[in-house]
Amino acid sequence: MKRILVLGAGRTLPSLINYLATRASEMNWEVRVADLSLKHALQKIEKYSNASACAFDIQHTERREKEIAAADLVISLLPVRFHIMAAKTCLKFKKHLLTASYVSDEMKAMDQQAKKNGVLLLNECGLDPGIDHMTAMAALDKIREEKGGRIDSFISYTGGLISPETDNNPWNYKFT
């Protein structure tokens, strides 16, 4: 069984926990949500019998090391300033880490150690700037190269998935 530790039970968690928990049995995953507020974490997982929650403070070294050491994969939904603490602990215990934040210089500095340890430190690669930028560049390249066009201006609007409890639009998506 693979253990997935999700750090943070904020507004982005509902979509992720739904995905993980509904696939946990078939994929042989154990899903654990860790948050500063145990009550908040429990509320987010209450409809999933195969997810657990715990009180967790990333700044508490002993607890951070215990939870990360027991995981196979760590997903940090914490504020960006805490990703480095999670990443360093993941490197220490050779655990993979995913975050939804941009790659910082501090994270880049851990790249060689991560490769040496066989650890994946995967930062933002989703919609913004990931998919949004890739599809925009594909369109711009096509205009330039295949059609001989020139780009004078480009504006990109993007967004993300909405937490189900605040979702009130037909696209189930928030444009920013």
Find out whether 24 and 51 touch, Cβ atoms under 8 Å. yes
23: helix, coil or strand?
helix
Distance from C-alpha of 50 to C-alpha of 21, rounded to nearest angstrom: 6
* DSSP one-letter string for 62-81: HHHHHHHHT-SEEEE-S-GG
Q: Which of these is catalytic: 72, 105, 111, 128?
A: 128
Distance from C-alpha of 148 to C-alpha of 172, rounded to nearest angstrom: 37
CA distances (Å), origin 147, targets 27, 64, 73, 134, 136: 46, 54, 45, 19, 16
Q: Which two tokens stand for residue 65?
A: 């090391």
Length of the chain: 176
Determine whether 105 is an active site residue: no
Residues with a known catalytic role = 128
